[in-house]
Amino acid sequence: MKRFAALLLFSLGALAAAPKVPGWREYQDGRLSAARIAFWQAAERGDRVAAFDLAMMDWRGEAGPVDKTQALYWLRRAADEQLAQAQYALGLLAERGDGVPKSLTEATRWFQLAARQGYLAAEIDLGTQYFLGRGAPQDDRLAAHWYEEAAKQGDVGAQYLIASMYEHGEGVKRDIPAAIRWYAKAAVQGDVGARAKALDLAKSQTRR
């Protein structure tokens, strides 16, 4: 639950970093009213990043009262324009039932759209949906696929998870060398448990 809350705050707590978007400089300078106007004008012209940033301002009540209804309108506009960050944010909201009806199936749908664009956090959460059978049929194969995609992007938790799946043959063919490689990658990033697993598996291979 703590991890989920942190992810929600991350996705809904920061504007999309795109300095070329009209309004970004004003926002950075603390001129929130001017930023909101610029974001709105750009969003009306179809700028998906501006739509996302406008949604975040309305969600937090910056340069005006909190307006989740309006925020969701712009968030959906950005998501419909294939902005992965907006799609992922909608998935988190559906998972929690915050401003939208709670639906794990809908959360999975949004996570999948964002994950297909290579959005790291969505890859991890989509893998978890399949691993747990939450909002989707339980499927170790698909869970392993998305965890490995996230692992390739350097996520240490995903690296440990896919290493374990290779070690035990869950969702993938059992492959101890692959497990060692992923544990080692996680170990390089400071995961002490992964380092121990990599060493133990390597020793077991040399004893054969």
Please list, residue by residue across 112-123, b when 16 or more beta carbons sit within 10 angstroms of its beta carbon and e when fewer do. Answer: bbbbeeebbbbb
**pLDDT at residue 36 greater than cutoff 50:** yes
Residue found by looking up tokens 């544990």 in the block: 183
pLDDT value of position 207 = 66
Contacting residues for 139 by C-beta, under 8 A, at least 6 apart: 130, 133, 171
**pLDDT digits over 46-56, tens only?**
999 999 999 99
**DSSP string across 127-188:** HHHHHHTSSS---HHHHHHHHHHHHHTT-HHHHHHHHHHHHHTSSS---HHHHHHHHHHHHH
Query: Given a cut of 90, is residue 19 above it in pLDDT?
Result: no
Spell out the domain ranges in the chain.
Answer: 1-138, 139-208
Q: What is the pLDDT of residue 7?
A: 46
In this prediction, residue 156 carries a pLDDT of: 97
pLDDT of residue 17: 60
pLDDT-based confidence at 20, cuts 50/70/90? confident
162-170 contacts, C-beta under 8 A, 24 or more apart: 163/194, 163/197, 163/198, 164/197, 165/140, 167/197, 167/201, 170/140, 170/144
CA distances from 67 to 12, 72, 190 (A): 13, 9, 42
**Mean local confidence (pLDDT), 184-203:** 95
CATH class of 139-208: mainly alpha
User: Whole-prediction pTM value?
Assistant: 0.89
pLDDT recorded at residue 6? 43
Whether the predicted pLDDT of 43 surpasses 90: yes
**pLDDT value of residue 206:** 75
pLDDT tens digits, 108-164: 999 999 999 999 999 999 999 999 999 999 999 999 999 999 999 999 999 999 999
Output the pLDDT for position 4: 41
pLDDT digits 0-9 by tens, 64-114:
999 999 999 999 999 999 999 999 999 999 999 999 999 999 999 999 999
Domain 1-138 matches domain 139-208 at the CATH topology level: yes
User: Residue 14: its pLDDT value, please?
Assistant: 58
- The pLDDT assigned to 3 comes to 44
CATH superfamily of 1-138: Tetratricopeptide repeat domain (1.25.40.10)
- Which whole number is the average pLDDT over 31-46? 95
Token duo for residue 130: 């399949």
CA distances from 75 to 33, 52, 159 (A): 19, 5, 31
Residue 114 confidence (pLDDT): 97
Nearest to 148 by CA among 129, 130, 132, 124: 124
How far apart CA 186 and CA 106 sit, in angstroms, is: 31
- Number of helical (H) and strand (E) elements in the chain, helices listed first: 12, 0
